[in-house]
Amino acid sequence: MSWFDKFTEKSLRRVAQSSSRRGFLRGIGAVLVGSAASAPLLPVARADNHSASAPKEEGDPTQCEYWRYCATDGFLCTCCGGTYNSCPPGTEMSPITWIGTCQNPTDGRNYIISYNDCCGKGPCGACLCIRDEGDRPIYRSDKTNDYNWCLGTQSAVYHCSVARVVGLAVE
Amino acid sequence: MFRFCSGLILCLLATAGFAQDRTHFNYILYCQGCHTADGVGAENAVPRLKDQVGYFLQVEGGREYLVQVPGSATSALNDKDLTAVLNWMVQEFAGESLSSNARPYTEKEVAMLRKTPLKELVKHREALVLSIASELKKVIK
C-alpha cells in the first residue's frame, strides 16, 4: 500500500471516529440555512431585482402623464383592454415599431421604450395621448410617430399603442 | 474563422465594455424598430438580416448596398457610429451567410459610400438578390 493510501485511510478513520452522520447533516443544514439568509435566491428577491426589463416605476399607467408615454402619439392600450406591454384581445402587435427613450422619475434613469402599435381593430378611442417628445419630421422616418406603424401585421388598422421597456439607455 | 474577428484577443476587444454597449444601443435606437431585435424583420415589410445579410458581402455591389441603402446612408448616426453598427449587425446576424474572407467596414469606406444613397432601392435589391441566387445558389427574402 502506498504512503498516499495509508495517509488517506488514516485521515478518513480519524474523521469517522470524531464525527457522526447526523452531525454531518446538521452541518450541511446550517450551511444551507446560512446561505439562504445571507444571499437570498428566492423569487421574492428576484422580483425586487432592479433590471432594465422590470424597472421600478410609480404612477397611473392609464394616464398620459405616465413616464413611459413621453413620446406616445395614440390611444393608450391600458385603457383599451390591454396593458403598456401587451395588446388588447383580438389585436396583433406590430413587429415594426418606433423606438425612443424616456426618463423614469422613480430612479432617474433613461430607458429605451418601444411604441408598438396594436392592430386589427378600429381605433380604440379611449385615452388619446399625444406627447411627442423627441418626435421628428416624417422625413426622419425612423424617429417619427406621425404615421401608422401597423406594418408587418395581418391588418393595417390601428387600435392603440403600447410602451414596452426594451433596455436601458447608454448615456 | 472569419476576419471580422480573426483572433481571440480581437474578439474580446471588440465585444468588451462600453463600446459594444454603445453600438448595441445605437442599433436598438436607430435600426431595431424596423429590423427587429433578432434581425428577422417582418415578412413583406422589412427584409431579413438574420442568416442572410452576409450574402450581400459576397456578390458584386452588395457591400456598397448595405451602406448606400437609405436606412444606413441617411441615418442620424455619424460615420464612426454607423460603421460600428454595420459591423455589429453583420457579426450579430450573418451567421453562416458570412464567408471566411469577409472583412469589416472601415470608417473611411462608410463615409465615402454614404455620400451617394440609393435613389431606386427595390430594383437594385432585386438585382442583388438574383446575383446571390445565381452565384451562391442561395434564396433570400
Q: Which of A112, A97, A74 shows the shortest CA–CA distance to A152?
A: A97
Residues of A with active-site annotation: 98, 117
Inter-chain CB proximity A170 and B43 less than 8 Å? no
Inter-chain CB proximity B25 and A97 less than 8 Å? no
Please, what's the b/e burial string for A49-74 (b: 16 or more CB within 10 A of its CB; e: otherwise)?
eeeeeebebeeebeeeebbbbbbbbb
- Across the range A56-78, mean pLDDT stands at 96
Say if CB B97 and CB B53 are below 8 A apart: yes
A149 or B127, which is more confident? B127
- Across the range B62-83, mean pLDDT stands at 95
Lowest mean pLDDT among A15-24, B20-29, B65-74: A15-24
Q: Sheet with A99-104: list strands edge to edge.
A: A99-104, A109-114, A164-168
Q: Which of A47-51, A53-57, A147-151, A162-166 has the highest mean pLDDT?
A: A162-166
CA-to-CA distance for A160 and A163, rounded, in angstroms? 10
If pLDDT is split at 50, 70 and 90, which confidence band does B139 have?
confident
A144: which 3 cell numbers?
Answer: 417619427
- Long-range contacts of range A46-52, CB-CB < 8 Å, 24 or more positions apart? A50/A107, A52/A111, A52/A165, A52/A167, A52/A168
Say if CB B140 and CB B48 are below 8 A apart: yes
If pLDDT is split at 50, 70 and 90, which confidence band does A16 have?
low
If pLDDT is split at 50, 70 and 90, which confidence band does A27 have?
low
Please enumerate in sequence order all residues whose Cβ is within 8 A of that of A127, keeping only pairs 6 or more positions apart, or say none.
Answer: A62, A63, A64, A75, A76, A78, A79, A80
pLDDT at B111 over 50: yes
A100: which 3 cell numbers?
Answer: 425612443
Element (H, E) at A3: helix A3-18
pLDDT cut 70: percent of chain A above it = 72
pLDDT cut 90: percent of chain A above it = 53
CA-to-CA distance for A95 and B3, rounded, in angstroms? 33
Compute the residue count for chain B.
141
Lowest mean pLDDT among A12-16, A22-26, A28-32, B12-16: B12-16
Determine the residue among A93, A94, A98, A99 to mutate to test chain B binding: the one whose Cβ has the most chain B Cβ atoms within 10 Å.
Answer: A99
pTM of the model: 0.74
Burial class (CB in 10 A: 0-12, 13-18, 19+), B42: middle
Nearest chain A Cα distance for residue B38, angstroms: 11
Instruction: Express each pLDDT in A110-124 by its tens digit.
Output: 999 999 999 999 999
Site of grid cell 395588446: A87
If pLDDT is split at 50, 70 and 90, which confidence band does A29 have?
low
B86 or B7, which is more confident? B86
Q: What is the mean pLDDT of chain A?
A: 80
B71 interfaces chain A, CB cutoff of 8 Å: yes
Predicted pLDDT at B54:
97
